[in-house]
Structure 1
Amino acid sequence: MEDLIGFVSGNKNRQKLLTLLGSKHSLDAGKMAKNMHVASPSVDKIVEELIDKELIEQECDVYKLTELGETLERKVHNI
């Protein structure tokens, strides 16, 4: 878990995306980019990284936190 906390908290945009999904529950990539004020290719890269770490999952065209992602989002939020 500590490795994942470091992975997310070491990058502001990863942390923003995790927090955003924690509050909105599910969003498509375009809405994430707009809410974060980040270019879509950057969001796509972060989404891919977070999927690889099993922190978020894709359901149709939207992304949401996994159970692990929800736990991590709470821990990072409390730091």
Structure 2
Amino acid sequence: MMEEMIGFVMGNKQRIKILEVIESKGPQPAEKIAKFGRLTAPVVGRTLEEVAGKGLLKETDGVWKFTDLGVELSKELKKRG
């Protein structure tokens, strides 16, 4: 399961970028993720929905943050460097 999630994230530069922004800056609204990641709002919106659909992120009151699975995945990606 974790290998599949890593493949899902690593297969797309926008997914990687979005997770890196949340990892480094903490929970953020989509507009800030777009700004920090230097991505367009439509790309960020679409990508956030994809990643949330896999259970890695969730939105609460307009702010996106890691789920428990997302935290686990983030730690695993760090280990792999």
Q: Please indicate, yes or no, whether the TM-score normalized by the shorter chain is above 0.5.
A: yes
Uncovered stretches (5+) of structure 2, i.e. residues with no partner:
none
Q: What is the aligned-residue identity percentage?
A: 38
**What amino acid is the match of 2:60?**
E
CA distance in 2 between counterparts of 1:12 and 1:74 reads: 18
Q: Alignment partner of 1:78: what SS?
A: helix
Equivalent residues of 1:19, 1:77 under 8 A apart: no
Equivalent residues of 1:54, 1:68 under 8 A apart: yes
Residue 57 (1) aligns with residue 58 (2): yes
Cα offset, 1:78, TM superposition: 2.8
Summarize the alignment of residues 1-79 of structure 1 with structure 2, pairs less than 5 Å apart.
Answer: 1-79=2-80
Greater relative contact order: 1 or 2 (C-alpha under 8 angstroms, separation 6 or more)? 1
CA distance in 2 between counterparts of 1:25 and 1:52 reads: 20
Q: Alignment partner of 1:57: what SS?
A: strand
After TM superposition, the structure 1 stretch with the greater mean CA deviation from structure 2, 47-56 or 69-78, is 69-78
CA RMSD of aligned residues (A): 0.9
Kindly tell me the number of residue pairs found equivalent between the two proteins: 79
**What amino acid is the match of 1:3?**
E
Q: Deviations over 1:26-45 (max 9, x none)?
A: 10000000001110000001
**Segments of 4+ moved more than 6 angstroms:** none
